[in-house]
Amino acid sequence: MTIEVGDRIPTTQLVKATEDGPEQIGSDEYFAGRKVALFSVPGAFTPTCSAKHLPGFVEKADELKAKGIDEIACTAVNDAFVMNAWGKSAGVDDKVTMLADGNGTFAQALGLEMDGSGFGLGMRGKRYSAVINDGVLEQLNVEAPGQFEVSSADYMLGRL
């Protein structure tokens, strides 16, 4: 079952990519007490994710924060080392927090997993963006397969 607006984010573990290495963090703790703009990509270093999705949120970080977003986070079914390397190569600095969902448990708990086996990717998370306020889903924008329209930073800005 897919999470819906008004639902609480399920309790799972994520891994925050840091300069000191991977840091385990519970979803309850991470989303508590603040408004987070979260976006999910099928995979780090993949074409649309690297050329449009992540750069859009880096570019619009100040505008999103001016509209009440406390933190911007990117998640993918990749390990923390890959997420950290991708963040560095994209120049995210302190604008976007890179959250690894290495086993896909977060994507699965949200009901937003996809089977990318036909492309050699295995199980991944769908492309989406969301606004989570104190652990509760306020906005969810899930893309149709192969699309990049409703999960962009610009689309989210227009809905805040």
Catalytic positions: 49
- Alpha helices in 6-67, H assignment, sequence order: 27-31, 47-48, 54-59, 61-66
CA distance 128 to 143: 6
C-alpha angle 125/85/126, rounded to 5°? Answer: 10
Which pair of structure tokens corresponds to residue 88?
């560095």
